């Protein structure tokens, strides 16, 4: 689609039009009939054609306002009727500039030669349920143009509603509105229309096609000031060459990134498959070792071989550690595949906390696990999985506070949530890691941390389980000042009474 001027006017002004080249992006063309290259578009705003719909891209508001005051100021000077549909800031900026140029704005306004409207308000009159209503456009805008053209004068319009739609992310409506302006231009009195878009609104690869489409709605496209303000044709040609080179290298880079992303996704998939396979393969021999350890334990017990029993008990606890790691790996791989099933049963979180703390305490002599606050808190979910979260937090509290001897547990609730916290007096965590430690395989690695075993799976699993229960998990901690891990779960909603009595 070539973007060429629709006007047949024979203005001496140089036409700048953009056309798509074969490779999909825009290149600048000059009107071949004009041999005297003068590339600055609309340097003379008085030489407007009768019918024109051009778009000005801009980076700074000041640049837009200068162009706009040139366009409107020249129009008013030539006796044109001018309509400005703009944001409040742009109307103000424009009017200040017009006054500074000696224009009696009140007088031209009184003569109906200057009509200004708020872009947002006017746009809301054209929209029904988020979409543009062509009928309303004809009524509101069509009527406005007819009124302005009544005196027989030529009409100049600055319209910013398209830019508002674009900034709201409603690209389809912005393009449709541009089309409606074009239809109006063909069907009613001729007018010159000035559209403007902030260039930063078009950042990102996704906008390429829509950008082309917007340009395609205009008879002229004026680049932003980084090009337009260049003073000589040579400078502009250099700028275009540099932009072309930039576009080429960006396209190459994007293509390269896509390949790398694809490769990363493939590797990520293979990693997940490996974790899943490895954890399944490890499970069978460990289960078998565990079974035979128990058989041996029974044999050595009957023979009263204390030393062998001690070795076997060490073996057994190491096998338990291995089993926990394998189970964590299995959980992670199931979570990644969305295959982890959760029960949906009501249970008292407080009772679960008591149970887990008692069980854990029975096997631990280094720390005292103290429950200081308790309250009945009925929640709905998977009791075993929530128990797994608490076990993980308690195990970490013990592991990461080797010099302390107490871990404090609290159960409380607010209006909507049951809240459980586990506080330790250990090595603490610097705030820079607080979000990251809930990620997969993340471990804080600094000199002090190196001696702690682990794979960085526990907190990720906790966060996933809590997320699936529509709860929250977080940490409050500072390096060397201990840590408090807290999770909250929505309280079970109280059932409405079965019968209600009216007195």
Give the residue with the Cβ less far from ligand ADP, 238 or 436. Answer: 436
Interface pattern 100-129 for ligand ADP (x via CB under 6 A)? ------------------------------
| Of the residues 409, 424, 489, 491, which one makes contact with ligand ADP according to CB under 6 A | 424
Return the residue nearest ligand ADP (CB atom): 454
**20 is written with which tokens?**
């798509």
| Of the residues 483, 487, 489, 491, which one makes contact with ligand ADP according to CB under 6 A | 483
Angle at 236 between CA 233 and CA 238, to 5 degrees: 110
> How many residues are present in the chain?
503
Non-local (6+) Cβ contacts of 40 within 8 A are 14, 228
Span near ligand ADP by CB under 6 A; candidates 181-189, 336-344, 352-360, 436-444: 436-444
What's the CA gap between 174 and 213, in Å, rounded? 10
**278 is written with which tokens?**
């490895």
Give the residue with the Cβ less far from ligand ADP, 108 or 461. Answer: 461
| Of the residues 356, 427, 466, 489, which one makes contact with ligand ADP according to CB under 6 A | 427
Widest pairwise Cα distance in the chain: 118
Instruction: Tell which positions 363-422 bind ligand ADP, by CB under 6 A.
Output: 396-397, 400
Give the residue with the Cβ less far from ligand ADP, 147 or 434. Answer: 434
Closest approach, Cβ 453 to ligand ADP, in A, equals: 7
Closest approach, Cβ 417 to ligand ADP, in A, equals: 22
Instruction: Tell which positions 40-69 bind ligand ADP, by CB under 6 A.
Output: none
Contact 465, 388 (CB under 8 A): yes
Closest approach, Cβ 357 to ligand ADP, in A, equals: 16
Assign 3-class secondary structure to 315-344.
HHHHHHHHHHHHHHHHHHHHHHCCCCCCCC
| Of the residues 444, 465, 466, 473, which one makes contact with ligand ADP according to CB under 6 A | 444
Instruction: Tell which positions 454-473 bind ligand ADP, by CB under 6 A.
Output: 454-460
Antiparallel, parallel or unpaired: β 81-86 and 155-159: parallel
What's the CA gap between 416 and 2, in Å, rounded? 61
Give the residue with the Cβ less far from ligand ADP, 132 or 429. Answer: 429
What's the CA gap between 397 and 62, in Å, rounded? 58
The count of chain residues that interact with ligand ADP, using the rule CB under 6 A, is 20
Q: Which of 254, 260, 261, 259 is nearest to 25 (CA)?
A: 254
Give the residue with the Cβ less far from ligand ADP, 11 or 443. Answer: 443
Angle at 338 between CA 333 and CA 339, to 5 degrees: 75
Q: DSSP E strands: which ranges in 14-119?
A: 16-20, 26-30, 52-58, 81-86, 114-118
| Of the residues 74, 175, 222, 437, which one makes contact with ligand ADP according to CB under 6 A | 437
For ligand ADP, the binding residues (CB under 6 A) are: 396-397, 400, 424, 426-427, 429, 437, 442-444, 449, 454-460, 483
């Amino acid at each position: 689609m070539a973007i060429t001027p629709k006007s047949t006017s024979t203005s001496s002004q140089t036409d700048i039009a953009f056309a798509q080249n074969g490779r999909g992006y825009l290149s600048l063309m000059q009107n071949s009939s004009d041999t005297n290259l003068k590339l600055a578009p609309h340097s003379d705003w008085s030489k407007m054609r009768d019918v024109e719909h051009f778009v000005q891209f801009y980076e700074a508001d000041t640049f837009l306002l200068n162009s706009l005051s040139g366009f409107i100021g020249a129009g008013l000077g030539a006796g044109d009727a001018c309509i400005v549909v703009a944001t409040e800031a742009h109307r103000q900026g424009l009017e200040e500039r017009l006054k500074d140029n000696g224009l009696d704005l009140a007088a031209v306004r009184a003569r109906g030669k200057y009509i200004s409207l708020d872009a947002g308000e006017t746009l809301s009159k054209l929209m029904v349920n988020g979409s543009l209503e062509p009928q309303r456009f004809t009524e509101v805008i069509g009527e406005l143009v007819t009124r302005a053209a009544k005196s027989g004068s030529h009409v100049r319009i600055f319209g910013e509603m398209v830019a508002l739609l674009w900034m709201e992310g409603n690209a389809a409506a912005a393009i449709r509105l541009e089309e409606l302006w074009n239809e109006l231009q063909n069907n009613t009195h001729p007018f010159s229309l000035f559209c403007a878009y902030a260039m930063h609104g078009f950042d990102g690869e996704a906008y390429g096609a829509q950008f082309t489409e917007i340009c395609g709605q205009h008879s002229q496209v004026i680049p932003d000031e980084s090009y337009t303000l260049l003073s000589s044709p040579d400078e502009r040609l250099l700028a275009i060459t540099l932009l072309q080179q930039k576009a080429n290298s960006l396209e190459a880079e994007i293509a390269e990134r896509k390949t790398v992303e694809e490769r990363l996704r493939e590797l990520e998939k293979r990693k997940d498959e490996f974790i899943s396979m490895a954890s399944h393969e490890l499970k069978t021999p460990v289960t078998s070792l565990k079974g035979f350890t128990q058989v041996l334990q029974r044999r050595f017990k009957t023979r009263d071989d204390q030393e062998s029993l001690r070795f076997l008990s060490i073996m057994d606890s190491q096998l338990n550690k291995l089993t926990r790691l394998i189970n964590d790996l299995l959980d992670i791989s199931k979570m990644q595949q969305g295959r982890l099933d959760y029960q949906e049963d009501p249970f008292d979180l407080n009772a679960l906390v008591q149970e887990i703390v008692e069980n854990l305490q029975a096997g631990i002599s280094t720390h005292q696990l103290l429950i200081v606050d308790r309250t009945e808190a009925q929640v709905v979910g998977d009791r075993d999985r929530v128990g797994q979260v608490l076990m993980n937090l308690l195990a970490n509290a013990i592991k990461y506070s080797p010099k302390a001897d107490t871990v404090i547990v609290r159960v409380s609730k607010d209006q909507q949530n049951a809240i459980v916290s586990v506080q330790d007096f250990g090595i603490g965590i610097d705030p820079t890691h607080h979000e990251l430690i809930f990620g997969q395989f993340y471990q804080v690695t600094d000199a002090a941390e190196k001696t702690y075993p682990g794979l960085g799976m526990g907190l990720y699993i906790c966060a996933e389980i809590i997320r699936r229960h529509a709860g929250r998990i977080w940490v409050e901690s500072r390096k060397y000042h201990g840590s408090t891990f807290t999770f909250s779960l929505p309280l079970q909603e109280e059932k409405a009474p079965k019968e209600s009595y009216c007195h």
